[in-house]
Structure 1
Amino acid sequence: MPLKLKEPREGKSPNYTIRGTYLGIYVERTAGTPNKRLAQQALDRIKKQIERGEYQQSEDVEEKRPRTFAEATLAYLKAGGDRKYLNKIISDTSEHSLRDKLLTDIDQIAIDNAASAVYPAAPPTTLNRQFYTPVSAVLKHVGIEREVKRPKGWRGKKSTSWLDPEPAFAVIRNAYEIEPEFGAFCLTLLYTGMRLSDPLNAKVRDLRISQALLYVPDTKNGEPRPVHLPPIVIEALKALPPRVGRPRRTGKERLPDGAAGRSRASAGVPWLERPADEKLFRFNKGGKLYKMLNLAMAGAGVSFPRRQGAFHLFCHTYGTWMTHYGKLDTFGLVRTGRWKNAESADRYRHTIASPEARRADLLPTPAKKAGKISGKKAS
């Protein structure tokens, strides 16, 4: 029987099979892909290998390891990999799609072309987060350690905005005026550097007041983090009053507009004595929470560009203050647990002048005479 493709067998394998004899060599193996065009290319490669005397009979045994990117993705997901963003990559059927491409054929050019096909107008930061990072994770999971070069500009801008103490304190004061719990929430972010999701997802059980600790079991870095709570945060949490319940309508009497609403959990219960499985802070990420922050910042006279003035400003302020006042270097910041590596924490090194730059204070200066700088004219 001549060498040819066999259709995928339902319930057996989604891929084509290459079977038959060519130049006296019998072949029976998977094509590694459900795509007929790619399967034919695999068959043609085997023919050329046989013609050159390079084909090994041991290759006839179908290996269990993935051969296409789709198979590699499935293996990655079965092993507990993050499926976020992968669906869009696998769903792409354009000319440069990675889905049915053999892993051996995936190089940097193939990855770049596929990225442009899936996200034709995305900025480098989005391309890196939503395409290059998940593709690299899939390849590494199946043992392909090839370096995947990221698009130019994928790190974004290195500029960092932060608050000086007085503006920061003014923002916190305004947050307390909006609502005491919101004030304590912002204060906690300021003095711990946590990402917004960490305190929002924290439970009462995660708070260890006696140890000045908030245990965050699942961070963006994928690792648990014991977060130290400075005395000012401990005092703020202890001072929080019980949540106020919402008024309810009684009889036919109407409540003023805005007075009614969803009853708050554990209203009237001392704030630190609430059930262990209740959320530590009552807020949810969304427009209402960001509006509260905008009001607090506006009341304090603080203004930043939209992408720099959200809750992450507290994180940058924490990193900067720990550098300025805590005297931590880049590796010291990493040791706090807030940043996973020195590369992430290094941006705060740029918020202070280096010791070498400060030696400019020693440079010679012209003499002052009668309050003015004097100097001889060059001859």
Structure 2
Amino acid sequence: MPLSLRPPRKGKSPNYTIRGTYLGIYVERTAGTPELRVAKRILKDIKDAIERGDYRPAPEVAEAPRPPTFADAALAYLKAGGEAKFLSKIIEATGPHALRDMPLTEIDQIAIDNAARGVYPLAPATTLNRQFHTPVSAVLKHAGIERKIRRPKGWRGSKATEWLEPEQAFAVVAEAHKIEPEFGLFCLTLLYTGMRLGDATEEALLRGLRLDQALLYLGATKNSEPRPVHLPPIVVQAFRKQPPRPTRPRKAAGMLLANGAAGRSRQGAGVPFLERHPDEKLFRFCKGGRLYKMLYLALDRAGVVLPKRMRGFHIFCHTYGTWMHRYGGLDTYGLTRTGRWKDPDSADRYKHTMASAEARRADLLPVPQARTVKRNWRSGR
């Protein structure tokens, strides 16, 4: 191979490399410069030295090791068992503000904010925080960089909260029970425990149900921590009275089943609800369209109208938090101590569901007195 220049290789070396054979002498060394004009001059000097017989291979100078990039840190984070849900989109992003090939020492608040808008140009602050700033912060912390990352303005979302009044909640649970008894128990459990939908459908197992202790033990939650869930007496009684699951109808020749009837699970059918296999899920439901349709039907039949963003199972969580504040007398710290909320800022929203004691002192303000009619005592009028 004739002696020639090789251009800089991204991620390897910023300088030109001289490699090849000239007049029977093999050369492989760095030009020591990223400038093509300078590298060509060094190549010519090497050829001249070989022709004169004066060429002596220059001792190789070890180039500075390549600084670790965000992609390197992300790979190490994933190998250590980190959450991969939103990282792929960040790593695959390209452009002038992409974090993938950026050295960790150069990633500051401005770089993060610019990269976030490059990946999610129109996303609201809540999405930016959840899908960009949070995973980037996790990667940097795993790499040993304890830099405080400022979250986008408005990342906490609105403090406005909707909840169900007792009459509304009882009506929704009653209608859910009419749709299917197990669905009624499911909604009742969410109402009085505040569990997330994912915890109730995926993490809750029959072996974790300990009615003699009024307890449901969740081995793992969204926060990756186990959580003992207290079951009020109304929930304990409902579990004890829960009937067995119905058997799935079999399709006979020439017979059409009702829409959806054949989709009911046959697992555990006819077996007392609390005597099923301990490793079975506590509830048979999976998060999906059919489950939400059942909730919408229960809400509609109960006459409960909610904003679109609150028309989901999280309404039970908000109701639980509001009731625990209003009737249970818990403040923000008390709500956090229940284990349902890890961050006090998340539980703080429920103090806005009631007027403060100071605000209620407006009841003591003066009001106009009722006008009295003066009577003429002589005439009696």
Partner Cα distance (1:303, 1:263) in 2:
31
**Aligned ranges 1:149-298 → 2 under 5 Å:** 149-201=150-202, 202-250=204-252, 252-258=253-259, 259-261=261-263, 263-298=265-300
Residues 5, 19 of structure 1: 8 Å contact kept: yes
Provide TM-score, normalisation by structure 2: 0.80
Distance 1:249 1:148 in 2: 59
Change (3 A) 1:120 1:18: closer
Measured in 2, the distance between the counterparts of 1:315 and 1:161 equals: 10
* Aligned residues of 2:15 and 2:34 also touching (Cα < 8 A): no
Shift in alpha-carbon separation, 1:247–1:117, aligned structure 2, 3 A: same
What is the alpha-carbon distance in structure 2 between the residues aligned to residue 5 and residue 318 of structure 1?
64
SS at match of 1:310: coil
* Contact persistence 1:192–1:228 (CA under 8 A): yes
> Deviation of residue 319 (structure 1)?
0.4
Aligned partner of 1:268: which letter?
A: G
Look up the SS of the partner of 1:215 in the other structure: strand
How much has 1:123 moved relative to structure 2? 1.2
Q: SS of the counterpart of 2:228? A: strand
Higher Cα Rg: structure 1 or 2?
A: 2
**Which residues of structure 1 form unaligned runs of 5+?**
9-14, 21-38, 42-58, 372-379
Contact 1:324 1:352 in 2 (8 A): yes
- CA deviation profile, 1:315-334 (whole Å, cap 9, x unmatched): 00000000110011110111
> Which deviates more, 255-264 or 309-318?
255-264
**What is the TM-score of this pair, normalised by structure 1?**
0.80
Aligned-residue identity in percent: 64
C-alpha deviation, 1:144, in angstroms: 1.3
Give 1:19 shift: 8.6
Counterpart of 2:114?
113
State the Cα deviation string for residues 209-231 of structure 1 (Å, max 9, x = none).
11111111111122110000001
Cα distance between partner residues in 1 of 2:175 and 2:152: 41
Tell me the secondary structure at the aligned position of residue 216 of structure 2.
strand
Point out where structure 2 has 5 or more consecutive residues left out of the alignment: 1-5, 17-32, 36-61, 374-381
Equivalent residue letter for 2:282 = L
Question: Do structure 1's residue 82 and structure 2's residue 83 form an aligned pair?
Answer: yes
Residues 182 and 94 of structure 1: is their aligned pair in 2 closer, same or farther, counting only changes over 3 Å? Answer: same
What CA RMSD, in Å, does the superposition of the two structures yield over aligned residues?
2.3
Q: Partner letter of residue 328 of structure 2?
A: G
Aligned residue number for residue 99 of structure 1: 100
In the alignment, which residue of structure 2 is the partner of 1:129? 130
Shift of 1:7: 4.8
Which of 9, 16, 29 in structure 1 is aligned with 2:12? Answer: 16
Whether contact under 8 Å (1:5, 1:16) holds in the other structure is: no
2-structure distance, mates of 1:370, 1:220:
65
SS at match of 1:94: coil
Distance of 2:360 and 2:329 partners within structure 1: 16
1:28 paired residue number: none
Contact 1:5 1:17 in 2 (8 A): no
Q: Which runs of 4+ in 1 moved over 4 A?
A: 4-8, 17-20, 59-63
Q: For the Cα contact (< 8 Å) 1:89–1:98, is it kept in 2?
A: yes
Compare 256-265 and 300-309 and name the one that shifted more. Answer: 256-265
SS at match of 1:248: coil
Report the Cα offset of residue 60 of structure 1: 7.1
Structure 1 CA distance, aligned partners of 2:359 and 2:170? Answer: 30
Structure 2 distance, partners of 1:164, 1:262, is 32
Give 1:11's aligned residue: none
Q: Give, as a single letter, the amino acid of the residue that structure 1 aligns with 2:304.
A: V
The total of aligned residue pairs comes to 324
User: Measured at CA, do residues 97 and 40 of structure 1 come closer, stay the same or move farther in structure 2, by a change above 3 Å?
Assistant: farther
Give the deviation of 1:104 after TM superposition.
1.1
Query: Hey, what's the Cα distance between the residues in 1 that align with 2:281 and 2:34?
Result: 57
Task: Determine the C-alpha separation between the residues in 2 that align with 1:187 and 1:302.
Answer: 16
Amino acid at match of 1:327: G
Residue 39 (structure 2) aligns with: none
Q: Return the alpha-carbon distance in structure 2 between the equivalents of residues 256 and 72 of structure 1.
A: 56
User: Over residues 154-173 of structure 1, what are the superposed CA-to-partner deviations in whole Å (9 max), with x where a residue is unaligned?
Assistant: 11111000011111111111
SS at match of 1:157: coil
The CA deviation at 1:240 is 0.9
Amino acid at match of 1:306: K
Deviation at 1:196, TM superposition (A): 0.6
Deviation at 1:272, TM superposition (A): 0.4
Does the C-alpha gap of structure 1 residues 208 and 5 become closer, same or farther in structure 2, counting only changes over 3 Å?
A: farther
Q: Deviations over 1:51-102 (max 9, x none)?
A: xxxxxxxx97859xx7211111111112211111100000011111100001
